[in-house]
Amino acid sequence: MRKFFLSLITIACALVSWAIVEEREIMTILKNDGTTVVYDVSDIDKVTFEVKTEEYKMLITPEQGEALKLPAVPTVFRVAPAKDGDPYLFGLTTVEASDPATARQGKYAIGLSVSALKMNTASVDLAGGAASGVTATLYTYADGEVSEIAEAQTSGTLTTAVNNKTKAVTINLEAAYENGTTVSVEFEGAVKDVADLEGFNPPYVYVNEGESFNADGISLGLFKVEGMTCTPDSKYQGGAYTGTRFDFTLSNGKTCWFIMKPELFGSTLDFATAQPGDAYFCYDNIQVAAAGANDWSLTGTEGKISVIKNEDNTYTIDLNVTNKYIMGSIRGGTPEYVILNYTSTEPIVEPEPEPEPEPEPIENLQNQLQHFNSEGAPEWPLTITKVEYSTEKGIPSNLSVKGDRFDVYFAEDNAPTFYFIVNPSLVGTTIDLATASPYFIKYGATELASAGLSWMSDKIGKEGTILFTLQDDGSYIIDLDIKFISSGNPDSKEYIKANFKTGSIYVEPEPEPEPEPAGFVNQGQHYTADGVAESVFDVTGMTYAENQRINGVEGFDKFTFTLSNGTDCYVAIKPEYVGQTIDFETAAKDAFVFKYGSINYSTKDNSLYVPTGINGKITVKKNDNGTYVIDVDVYAHTINWGTVNNTSKERVIFNYTEPEPEPEPEPEPEPAGFVNQGQHYTADGAAENIFDVTAMKITENTRVNGAAGFNKYELTLSNGTECYVAIKPEYIGKTIDFENADKDSFVIKYGYNMNYSSKENTMYATQGINGKISVVKKDDGSYVIDMDVYAHYINWGTVNNTSKERVILNYTGQ
């Protein structure tokens, strides 16, 4: 064979330039990752195959890509519970880490949260997620940043244990995640204690950008802060908020600005603890104030703003503000919030303010007020242009207490609100704030009240005087020297002095007598705001529904009325007040709701979306037969957002008396065909013994119960009961039906209770409404008298027709 090859080589060399050709036997191996390895067979002495076992303590296998296999868990961090019941936290890394932040240099990290109940427990089932008491969060990193977070386990188990002697911790974890990744960990050894695991997934750092979140906490997207303007000495809400204003230009087009006192720069303003006037913030529909300067301000409760003026005169702004606030005594708002960071690119150099001349105290104030600041230094005086005087005004700290109110107005713009209310008996005297009562003073955001009136004990005034001097023209000159020293601020140096003339004191005329209810039955009347009575209306019907939800509050019995004037009207009360008269002034919280047209009121401190009614009465009475009688007398007087409105004369009065249900008619006892006999039935319908009518006495043209002209027929009964029939002579021979009898046509009496006459009678007898009598004179001069009468009557407009008491008798003379 070799010779044959040499021959071929010789021939080839003869034909072309010569070359050496050699065959080699090779072995090519294709690996699972797609690469190949080539070996020369001549170099291989022997080929053997064997199964080699590799052991890993951490195996993380993604659905796509290469698995991470580690022979040991590099580092395990532990965060001990801050208090009993808090979970245990463990952090497992895939690289050696000195702290949790270093773990991001690896491919993965695992955060374990184990409830106290599940710690030191074997094979906890992770399929229930957080409900299992264990969460195992898998962080995936790329270039040192979090690229993916897997939290929802589809299956898995966790075993934890702590060796009390060696303090070694055991963690065995098997977990499968929704993204297809599986994790297996076996660890036993020492752990590193750390304060937290925030380094695994540090919070996002905003740099010249921001982010807003809706009420469900869902991000509405990042936005860029493209610019900012800064305006010193700005004012908002008439000077209630004065300071430097920052306006931002945002990439999302939203409006964003805030105003803050410059002395707060360099610190963090917390809306929950800020002082009145410190700041005001606006982002889109989020608007909150730092401690409201008035009853209408939205006092923020959750939010912080930091303003730092850097050495190069740039500003760095950081803020996180939530749309939650208090307005008056009402909490409101939503969980919406916004986060923003910005450092201005250009230095903002504020001009040096021109030095202002220092004001001097004025010795003799004339229609002026001078304020002395917190250092006790005088400020420029304010010119008093007008004083409004009114009586019977409620003191805000206790609206049921009233006094004379003086509202003071100034010529200067942005002047603070100033008014005071005092006990009318103190007008014309020197009022000592330390002892006088009641009084209330408001100057700007400062309030002082007499002891026992303020709901905040730190507002009780301690020092100062108000002097009223009566002039010949009926006006008062008022001098004030009011210190802002109170129980809550005993070292205050702030105070005011003022002098002004009231003009003639207005004496309010005696109030006109209120119209008295007209004794309405199924009727009512409305009076306008000027007290003009409108036409009487009829209450023609009522519907009733139990346990209704009214304006967001459950549990009312609602009575809805149909009125002939077409006005929407209802009364809603809690069931426990049926049978009681609800007085608006003292009614319990959520006791009632009332609506008549635009009058829509509820009780004080109510949970509903309606004003507080303060002058009215409602009675809902349920009769034994299940019918209702409802009386309403309500004025359009309210408290709304702390303001008392009690001057209107608008009023509505009405009554609804539900008709009594018609009783099932019982078979009437048939007359027994009495002749000179009779029978009485009790109120329960029980028949008494038959009695005899033994005699009759006639008295003609006599006076009965104060009315003249009756023929009176007195009957003698065997049961001894007094009994007579009296009729006008023109009715002899006729049957008188009580229901349609003429005025003064008859009088009957049987015993003590049954003494009846006709409708509209002029006698001292009750109107009978169910009965018949007849007096017939026969040709022989004798009489036949029949009587069948029920104890049914009308008394003072009230119908009484339920009794079964009855008398039937006959007298036939011989």
pLDDT digits (tens, 9 = 90+) for 642-672: 678 888 899 999 999 998 877 665 555 555 5
Among candidate residues 649, 554, 555, the one with its CA nearest the CA of residue 599: 649
**Could you tell me if 349 and 343 are in contact, meaning their C-beta atoms sit under 8 angstroms apart?**
no
Query: What pLDDT score does 115 carry?
Result: 92
Backbone angles phi, psi at 634, to 5 degrees: -130, 130
pLDDT digits (tens, 9 = 90+) for 603-629: 877 776 788 899 999 999 999 888 999
Which CA distances in Å does 184 have to 169, 176, 667? Answer: 17, 9, 92
List the Cα angle 809/810/813 in 5-degree steps. 150
Query: What pLDDT score does 351 carry?
Result: 62
Task: Specify burial of residue 720 (Cβ count, 10 A radius: 0-12, 13-18, 19+).
Answer: exposed
**Could you tell me if 277 and 445 are in contact, meaning their C-beta atoms sit under 8 angstroms apart?**
yes
List the Cα angle 4/9/15 in 5-degree steps. 130
Residues in the chain with pLDDT < 70?
1-22, 32-34, 51-53, 292-296, 349-354, 356, 454-456, 503-518, 608, 641-642, 663-672, 814
CA 153, CA 180: separation in Å to the nearest integer? 10
Query: What pLDDT score does 13 carry?
Result: 45
- Pair type for strands 766-768 and 754-757: parallel
> Quick check: helix, strand or coil at residue 731?
helix
pTM: 0.36
Query: What pLDDT score does 20 carry?
Result: 63
Which long-range contacts does 788-794 make (Cβ < 8 Å, 24+ apart)?
A: 788/671, 789/738, 789/748, 789/750, 789/754, 789/756, 791/683, 791/753, 791/754, 792/768, 793/756, 793/766, 793/767, 793/768, 793/769, 794/759, 794/766, 794/767, 794/769
CA 418, CA 409: separation in Å to the nearest integer? 7
Cα-Cα-Cα-Cα dihedral sign, residues 55, 61, 67, 72 = negative
Query: What pLDDT score does 349 carry?
Result: 67
Query: What pLDDT score does 642 carry?
Result: 66
